[in-house]
A and B are shown apart, each in its own frame.
Chain A
Amino acid sequence: DTAVSQTPKYLVTQMGNDKSIKCEQNLGHDTMYWYKQDSKKFLKIMFSYNNKELIINETVPNRFSPKSPDKAHLNLHINSLELGDSAVYFCASSQVGRRNTGELFFGEGSRLTVL
């Protein structure tokens, strides 16, 4: 079983469209994250949820809206896609708090290409 799974793995769409990426983890972790990796491989955190509550919200355009229906799922919806949104989006999870080992578990990434 894949620990952190994301769908879709590849997404090609036109400017102006709206798209979603889904993420699920079966590790029993309480915290999930979205990271963006640009074309130069630079990774930057976008959002984090702990037990369905938003706890990290970096400077991200409000066209990006995360949603966590439960602590095992964190989805990312993007409105009005722009060329600069083309990137690989990684979902990750960890156990934060008393049992925190400091390790994040990453999904395989969702490569978004905006044309």
Chain B
Amino acid sequence: GNSVTQMEGPVTLSEEAFLTINCTYTATGYPSLFWYVQYPGEGLQLLLKATKADDKGSNKGFEATYRKETTSFHLEKGSVQVSDSAVYFCALMTTDSWGKLQFGAGTQVVVTP
């Protein structure tokens, strides 16, 4: 079956540090890949997505590239801010799934001043 594996947290960083959160997936076919973010006390919001191999999704300084050869979709940001403190979820969606998202376990990121 389909699955998403992402690095465990919490990840604690200082402001302006470089952030990487690893995500790998297992799926049949060619899934779309997503990063969702959950700020404290809120629901999930789409951060970025990529729908085919070698696509790069980007938003708010975050980037992730769909790597089919390594089945990965790692999230990166060059300089984090305290406001980036949140839980980040990697997810996949296959075309025959009626929009069903398969989530990774989530990675909590804590950015300190």
What is the interface of chain A, defined by CB distance below 8 A to chain B? 4, 31, 33, 40-45, 48, 50, 55-56, 90, 92, 94, 96, 100, 102-104, 106-109
Contacts and interface: CB of A to CB of B under 8 A. Distances in A.
B103 A43 contact: yes
B73 to A, nearest CB: 13
A103 B108 contact: no
Contact of A42 (B34, B100, B105): B105
Nearest to B43: A106
Contacts of B38: 41
B106 A104 contact: no
A23 B80 CA distance: 34
A49 B32 CA distance: 21
Contact of B98 (A55, A106, A108): A55
Contacts of B108: 41
A17 B87 CA distance: 32
B45 interface: yes
Interface string B84-113: 000101000100001111010110100000
A102 B30 CA distance: 13
B46 interface: yes
Contact of A106 (B41, B44, B100, B105): B44
Given A48-B99, A56-B98, A90-B44, A103 B105 contact: no
Contacts of A50: 98
A25 B34 CA distance: 22
Nearest to B93: A102
A56 B32 contact: no
8 contacts: A31-B99, A42-B105, A43-B89, A48-B99, A55-B98, A102-B51, A102-B99, A109-B43
